[in-house]
Structure 1
Amino acid sequence: MKTFQLEVVTPERKVYSGDATMVIVKGIEGELGIMANHLPFVTPLQIAPVRIKTPDQDEHVIAVNGGFIEVHNNKVIILAESAELPEEIDIDRAERARERAEERLRRAKQEKIDYHRAEMALQRAINRLRVAGRGR
């Protein structure tokens, strides 16, 4: 199977770099599957797991919390606001963050709480839990 170079980077570090046969991301218009020799494009990403299929038939999952994907010249770069590998995720911390965000959303109508910010926090927590294998 044909491959392409993939990098997942955040402002702090390079999270992943290697050859891939396919990467599956969730853009603002829906799910995208990118394979070798894909047409060039750039699009924003939603908070969602990124699935990477490698030449040796492995599949890696990374919790990506927004950003952009750029495809050009058989190279894919994901510029993420933040990204974590499954083994880096503190499950207890993510559970607590999910609970806090859900509580903020419940109180949003009675109090002056930034609903959008609470919703984004909830999405990030759920994304981390999914990638860590504990999500719903």
Structure 2
Amino acid sequence: MADKIGFDVVSPERLLLSEDVDMVVIPAEEGDMGVMAGHAPVIANVRPGTIAVFSGNSVQKRYFVAGGFLEVTGERCTVLAEQATPIEDIDISATQSQIKDLSEDVSHAKDEREKEAAEADLALARAKLQAAESPAYK
């Protein structure tokens, strides 16, 4: 059994990461999922949250993902993200402003459909802010 697993993070815009890692923790829909070499094959939904990429016992990289899918084989783990951003690239003040604007959009929505869309965007912006302010898996 190999010590490392190949790991890719792909967004619609680009390939963000492709390297061999010791472990990765992904925010799967059912809960955080740790993946190492030899993991059982799985396909799962990814919820908004932080991907933590480990080298040894410490986190080397973090990415915020807005959701998507993951596939694990014995040799490789691939996350196909709806949106992905390195945590260090998140602008906290811009995200806080976005949350304020989206909160206003929710309260000023003209109908239920518009309100639900604004609430979904607001939840995503809050998850992004949390990822930037409180990194998981230190």
Instruction: Give TM-score scaled by structure 1 length.
Output: 0.84
Q: What letter corresponds to residue 133 of structure 2 in structure 1?
A: G
Q: What letter corresponds to residue 118 of structure 1 in structure 2?
A: A
Give the aligned partner of residue 120 of structure 1: 120
Give the aligned partner of residue 62 of structure 1: 63
Return the offset for 1:107: 4.1
Q: Which runs of 5+ in 1 are unaligned?
A: none
Structure 2 distance, partners of 1:20, 1:73, is 13
Give yes or no for contact 2:52–2:59 (8 Å, CA) kept in 1: no
The equivalences for 1:54-133 within 5 A come to 54-55=55-56, 57-108=58-109, 111-113=110-112, 114-133=114-133
Structure 2 distance, partners of 1:38, 1:96, is 40
Structure 2 distance, partners of 1:97, 1:32, is 29
Q: Which runs of 5+ in 2 are unaligned?
A: none
Give SS of 2:67's match.
Answer: strand
Matched length: 133
Structure 1 distance, partners of 2:71, 2:126, is 25
Return the offset for 1:103: 2.5
Structure 1 distance, partners of 2:20, 2:133, is 24
Give SS of 2:6's match.
Answer: strand
- Percent identical: 29
Structure 2 distance, partners of 1:97, 1:13, is 24
Structure 2 distance, partners of 1:85, 1:25, is 14
Return the offset for 1:94: 1.0
